Structure 1
Amino acid sequence: MDPLAQLKDIHIPAEVHNYPVAYGWWILLAVIIVLVAICVSALKKHKRKVQAKRAAIKHLSGPITNNDEILTTLKWAATHYFPRDAIAQLYGKELNDFMLKQLPEKYHQKFNQLAEPGLNSRYKVNEKVLDKDLLQAALLWLKHALPANNGQKIGEEMS
């Protein structure tokens, strides 16, 4: 008897389908969708948070005519990150102290040198000139102090 005659023909198994997809893939897809949604939301929140900062820097980089315009722009930007009623009443030394509290420690000396004369002379009679040092101090403050990420309100800092 021939052993090869007893062999049967090779049968190919039925084709394996990809559907329905296993539960693990659905869970992975859901996790990825949630992570993408969280990332997009965080990106939008960050863009909204720095929008006022960018607008103020752009405004100060343009043609500025006097110190009042610089200080008004600084206060406008600060009101986007801190309560308006606390910012609006600040001027002179109080405004300088507030701005220093928002800056990282390494910029305090430079900011004081640039800003103190301009902040203290704002309410003098014929002070409608442009102080380039005050402009540089304003740009320094906007770039390094905003957005306020310390989580404290102005009332907590000032008391």
Structure 2
Amino acid sequence: MQTPAPDLSQLKDIHLPSPVTDLPIAFGWWLLLTVFILLTIAGIIYGLKRHEKNKTKKAALLLLSQQYEQLKKHKDTQLFLQQSNEVLKRYCLDKYPEAASLSGDAWTSFLNRQSKKTYFEADVEKAISQGLYQPQCEYDTQTLFSACVSWIKNNKESSND
């Protein structure tokens, strides 16, 4: 005996479920996206501050180098002392506003306090603190130049940065 064949016309169509959407995304993905955006913004701000700090440092070092080259041509040690001191003062005013009123021994003490080590030897320190107020001051120009460059490159950072 044979069983009758089922009638295919009685079968219903297959209904697929509605497609899964990408939104709304789960809370964890929102959290991850927020953290990523915040870290990106913080990185950009940090990079801009660092670039600005390095820009000031590079400008001061370039100016010192130009003045040293000018010294080699014109042999005016008094002018070089004045210009070097001016570059240090301008650099410090950008980083340490409290340095504006300092001069003499207070100025050189301030410079030594703001660095991790003492870059200005006794004769250079004396030239910076007192040489600006004397008609002629004897000091080693190479030592002054090296001390200024080293101080700018290596001074400890201000709490403002």
TM-score when scaled to structure 2?
A: 0.69
- Indicate the residue corresponding to 2:81 in structure 1: 67
Task: Report the alpha carbon displacement of residue 92 of structure 1 after superposing the two structures with TM.
Answer: 2.7
**Cα distance between partner residues in 1 of 2:153 and 2:123:** 15
Instruction: For structure 1, list consecutive stretches of 5 or more residues without a partner in the other structure.
Output: 1-10, 152-159
- Indicate the residue corresponding to 2:121 in structure 1: 112
**Cα distance between partner residues in 1 of 2:102 and 2:22:** 67
**Cα distance between partner residues in 2 of 1:130 and 1:69:** 15
Task: Report whether the alignment pairs 1:89 with 2:109.
Answer: no
Query: Identity of counterpart residues, as a percentage?
Result: 23
- Indicate the residue corresponding to 2:114 in structure 1: 102
- Indicate the residue corresponding to 1:133 in structure 2: 143
RMSD value, Cα = 3.2
Instruction: For structure 2, list consecutive stretches of 5 or more residues without a partner in the other structure.
Output: 1-13, 72-79
Task: Report the alpha carbon displacement of residue 28 of structure 1 after superposing the two structures with TM.
Answer: 1.1
Amino acid at match of 1:91: S
Q: 1:58 to 1:147 in 2, by over 3 A?
A: farther
Q: 1:132 to 1:117 in 2, by over 3 A?
A: farther
- Indicate the residue corresponding to 2:5 in structure 1: none
Task: Report whether the alignment pairs 1:17 with 2:27.
Answer: no
Contact 1:75 1:88 in 2 (8 A): yes
Task: Report whether the alignment pairs 1:32 with 2:36.
Answer: yes
Contact 2:57 2:152 in 1 (8 A): yes
- Spell out structure 1 runs of 4+ moving beyond 6 A: none
Question: Number of aligned pairs?
Answer: 139
Contact 1:68 1:122 in 2 (8 A): yes
**Cα distance between partner residues in 1 of 2:123 and 2:17:** 80
Residue 111 of structure 1 aligns to a residue in which SS? coil
TM-score when scaled to structure 1?
A: 0.70
Contact 2:60 2:87 in 1 (8 A): yes
Contact 1:53 1:147 in 2 (8 A): no
Specify the structure having the higher radius of gyration (Cα): 2
